[in-house]
Amino acid sequence: MIEFHQVTKIFESNGNKVEALKNINLTIDKGDIFGVIGFSGAGKSTLIRTVNLLEYPSAGEVLVKGKNLTELSKYEIREAKKDIGMIFQHFNLIKSKTVFHNVAMPLLLSGYNKKSVEEKVFEILRFVGLEEKAKNYPDQLSGGQKQRVGIARALITNPSILLCDEATSALDPETTKSILKLLKRINKEYNITILIITHEMEVIKEICNRIAVMEDGQIIETGKVFDVFANPKKETTRNFVKSVIRDEVPKSVYQLLREKNHYSRIFKIEFFGANSGQPIISKTAKVYDVEINVLFGNITELQGIPFGNLIVELIGNDHEINRAVEYIISQDIRVKEVTEDGSKYRNNIKCVVGNTLHG
Amino acid sequence: MEVSTEIILNALWETLYMVSISLFFGGIIGIFLGILLVVTREGHILENRVIYRTVNPIVNIFRSIPFIILLVAIIPFTRLIVGTSIGTTAAIVPLVLHIGPYFSRLVENSLLEVDEGIIEAAKAMGATPLQIIYRFLMPEAFSSLILSITTATIGLIGATAMAGAIGGGGLGDVAITYGYQRFSSITILVTVVILVVLVQAIQEIGNKLERRVRRM
C-alpha cells in the first residue's frame, strides 16, 4: 500500500545540512495499522510527510498504491491526496468555520456546494459521534472532540489511507483511548490503512499490528508489535517497551531480599504470548517442593495476548528450587534470578542452574 | 472671521470622501500586496524570490516617504491619473499610494499570524494555492484584518489633513486656513473635536465588528 524505497531527506538551512531521513526502506500493507515510534527529532514526522508530499524526498521514492506521487502532475497529486487523509497533533481546524464547514471543506475544495454535501457530512459526523456539534466552532470543543472533527474531515473523501501525525499526543490518557478506539473502528469498518507516528508506546500497544522504531533518521527495528515487544533488540526499543511494561525490579523486592530470614530465591518470570495462559505457577508449586510467593507482577495485554512479567519468591531447598526453575524454563518461559546487587539480573538462569546441578 | 457651519460640514464631507475612496483603492492594493508578501516568501505556498525581493523594497520605499512629500513629489503622476493635480480628487492619488503599502504591511502581519498547521492541513487536502488563500488564510485572518482596516482608516484620516497642501480641502485644511492662519481658536477646537469623535467612532465600529467575527 505504501512503500518506502531508500528514502532520504536532507534539510538545508544556512549551509547546514541535516539528514532527517537516511535510506529508509519500509512497506506498509493494505488494511494494516502500522506504527512508527521514535523520540522527537528521530525523523518520524518527516517520514509520514513524504507519503502525501508535505515533504519531498531528497532521494529514493515513496510509492502509494504503487504510484510515485512525485512523478504525477500537480493536478494528479492533488487528486491523489484526496485518497490520503491526515490528522494532526494540534488538529489544525479552521477556527473561523463551524464543525460542519470544517468537515465539508475537502469536498468544497473539489467544487461541491455546501447543500449537496450535507448528507455526507452528517453521516460522517454521526460516525465520529459529533452530529449535534455541527453548528459549533472548534473553540467550543474539547481536545478529543476537535480530533474527532479532524478525523471526520480526513474521512469525508473516502480515503484508503489515513496518516496520523502524533494524533493523540495533545490528549489526556482517557481521551487518547477513545480516539484510538475510533481509529480501530475506522480500520475495521472502512478497511482503511492507517499509518501512525507517535512517541507513546501506549498508542502502539493499543492498536498497531506492526511497528518500526526510528532513531536518528533511520529505522533501527521493525516487525510485528508482539515480536518487537517480546524481543527488543536495540536499547532505544527496549526503553520504549519499558515505558508500557515495567521490567525493572521494584525497590521493595530488594528490601525484602535483604530482610528475609528464611532461605529463598527471587526470580523474574517473563511471559510472552500464549504460555502465560498456562497456570505455570500453581503447577510448579504442586509438582515441586517449593512455596511460591508472588511479590510483584506486571501483566498487560497485547492484541489480546497476555504479556509481561511476574517476580516470585521461591521458598524451599536449593535442589527443589533449581528443579522448579528448570521446569519453568522447559515450558519455554524466560526466568531470571534477582539478586541483591542486581549483578545476576539479566543473566539467564539456565547456566546458573546448570552449574549447580552438575557442579 | 469665524468659520460657518456650512464650511465645516463641507470639509467633513471632503474628508469622508477622500478617506472612503482612497481606502477602497488602497485597500485593494494593500490586500493584494499583503497576500503577495506572504505567499511568495521563502517556504510559503508560492515561494518566489524575485517577486518577494521586488515587492518588499517597493513597499518599504513608499512607507519611508513622509506623506506631505509624497503628495507633492508625485504631482505629475497624479495629473496623469486623474487629469488634475489640484483639489480633493487629486489628493486621492497620493493617499492611495500612501495607504496601500502601509495597509499591505498590516495585511501581511495578519496573514502571518495564521497557524501554519492550517496551511499544512490545506495542503494535505490537496487545496490549490488560490484555495489556500481564500478558503483558509483569509477566513482565518479575517478578524485580524478588520482591525487592520480600522487602523488604516484612522491613519488615512490623519493623512487627509495634509491634503490641503494641494487644495484637497477637508477638516485639516479648514483647521489650518481658518484656525491657524486666521487665529480662530474655536475653529481648531471644533475640527479637532470632530476628528476625535470620528476616530473614536471608527475604532469602536472596528472593535465591534472584529468581536462579532471572532466571536462565534
Q: Could you report the per-residue pLDDT of B77-95, keeping only the tens digit for each? A: 999 999 988 888 899 999 9
* Among the partner residues B126, B139, B216, nearest to A139 by beta-carbon distance: B216
> Shortest Cα distance from A181 to chain B (angstroms)?
23
Mean pLDDT to the nearest integer, B23-50 = 95
Place of cell 485580524: B144
Contact yes or no for A54 and B140 at CB 8 A = no
Q: How far apart are CA B118 and CA A97, in angstroms?
A: 12
Q: C-alpha distances in angstroms, A71 versus A27, A67, A136?
A: 20, 8, 41
Q: What is the pLDDT of residues B40-69, one digit of tens each?
A: 999 899 999 999 999 999 999 999 999 999
Q: What homologous superfamily is domain A251-358 in, according to CATH?
A: ACT domain (3.30.70.260)
> Shortest Cα distance from B71 to chain A (angstroms)?
40
Sheet of A161-165, strand order? A84-88, A161-165, A193-198, A33-37, A210-215, A218-224
The residue ranking higher by pLDDT, B1 or B96, is B96
pLDDT for A325 beyond 60: yes
In this prediction, residue A274 carries a pLDDT of 59
The conformation of residue A58, written as its DSSP 8-state character, comes to: S
Contact yes or no for A109 and B117 at CB 8 A = no
Q: What is the pLDDT of residues A69-92, one digit of tens each?
A: 889 999 999 999 999 999 999 999
In this prediction, residue A141 carries a pLDDT of 94
Contact yes or no for A80 and B143 at CB 8 A = no
The residue ranking higher by pLDDT, B50 or A270, is B50
In this prediction, residue A12 carries a pLDDT of 86
Q: How far apart are CA A302 and CA A308, in angstroms?
A: 9
Q: What is the pLDDT of residues B165-215, one digit of tens each?
A: 788 888 888 888 888 788 888 888 998 999 999 999 999 999 999 998 876
Sequence-distant (6+) residues with CB within 8 A of A223 are: A210, A211
In this prediction, residue A278 carries a pLDDT of 62
CATH of residue B197: 1.10.3720.10
In this prediction, residue B2 carries a pLDDT of 64
Mean pLDDT to the nearest integer, A143-172 = 94
Is the CB of residue A190 less than 8 Å from the CB of residue A15?
no
Residues of B with CB below 8 A from A54's CB? 120, 123-124
Interface of B with A in 73-112 (CB under 8 A): none
Weakest-pLDDT range from A21-25, A269-273, B10-14: A269-273
Nearest chain B residue to A80 by CA distance is: B126
Q: For residue A182, what is its C-alpha cell? A: 475510533
Residue A274 sits at the chain B interface (C-beta within 8 Å): no
Interface of B with A in 37-66 (CB under 8 A): none
Q: How far apart are CA B59 and CA B56, in angstroms?
A: 5
Sheet of A59-64, strand order? A16-28, A2-13, A59-64, A67-68
Q: C-alpha distances in angstroms, A103 versus A170, A274, A354?
A: 20, 43, 65
Which among B114, B116, B125, B145 is the top mutation candidate for probing chain A, defined by the most A β-carbons within 10 Å of its own β-carbon?
B125
Q: What is the pLDDT of residues A19-70, one digit of tens each?
A: 899 999 999 999 999 999 998 888 999 999 999 999 999 999 999 999 998 8
Weakest-pLDDT range from A8-12, A266-270, B140-144: A266-270
Which CATH number is A2-244's, of 3.40.1710.10, 3.40.50.300, 3.40.50.720, 3.30.300.130? 3.40.50.300
pLDDT for A181 beyond 70: yes
Which among A54, A95, A162 is the top mutation candidate for probing chain B, defined by the most B β-carbons within 10 Å of its own β-carbon?
A95
Position A137 confidence tier, pLDDT thresholds 50, 70, 90 = very high
Give how many domains chain B has, as a whole number.
1
Nearest chain A residue to B137 by CA distance is: A94
- Three-state secondary-structure class, residue A87: strand
Q: Which long-range contacts (CB under 8 A, 24 or more apart) does A17-22 make?
A: A19/A217, A20/A46, A20/A217, A21/A46, A21/A47, A21/A50, A21/A57, A21/A217, A22/A216, A22/A217, A22/A218
Across chain A, mean pLDDT equals 86
Which among A64, A96, A137, A158 is the top mutation candidate for probing chain B, defined by the most B β-carbons within 10 Å of its own β-carbon?
A96
Q: What is the pLDDT of residues A241-253, one digit of tens each?
A: 888 777 777 777 7
Delimit the domains of chain A by residue range: 2-244, 251-358
- Enclosing domain of residue B121: 5-215
Four-residue CA torsion sign, B163, B165, B168, B169:
positive
> What type of residue is B132?
I
Nearest chain B residue to A162 by CA distance is: B124
Q: Which long-range contacts (CB under 8 A, 24 or more apart) does B15-21 make?
A: B15/B157, B15/B160, B15/B170, B15/B171, B15/B172, B15/B198, B17/B88, B18/B88, B18/B91, B18/B92, B18/B95, B18/B156, B18/B160, B18/B163, B18/B168, B18/B170, B19/B153, B19/B156, B19/B157, B19/B160, B21/B92
Which among A54, A87, A109 is the top mutation candidate for probing chain B, defined by the most B β-carbons within 10 Å of its own β-carbon?
A109
Weakest-pLDDT range from A21-25, A336-340, B70-74: A336-340
Alpha-carbon radius of gyration of chain B: 20
Residues of A with CB below 8 A from B117's CB? 88, 90-92
> Shortest Cα distance from A242 to chain B (angstroms)?
32
From the number of C-beta atoms within 10 Å of its C-beta (0-12, 13-18, 19+), residue B64 rates as: exposed
pLDDT for A218 beyond 80: yes
The residue ranking higher by pLDDT, B20 or A244, is B20
Q: What is the pLDDT of residues B142-151, one digit of tens each?
A: 999 999 999 9
The residue ranking higher by pLDDT, B215 or A321, is A321
pLDDT for A359 beyond 80: no
> Shortest Cα distance from B105 to chain A (angstroms)?
22
Mean pLDDT to the nearest integer, B15-23 = 94
Contact yes or no for B126 and A79 at CB 8 A = yes
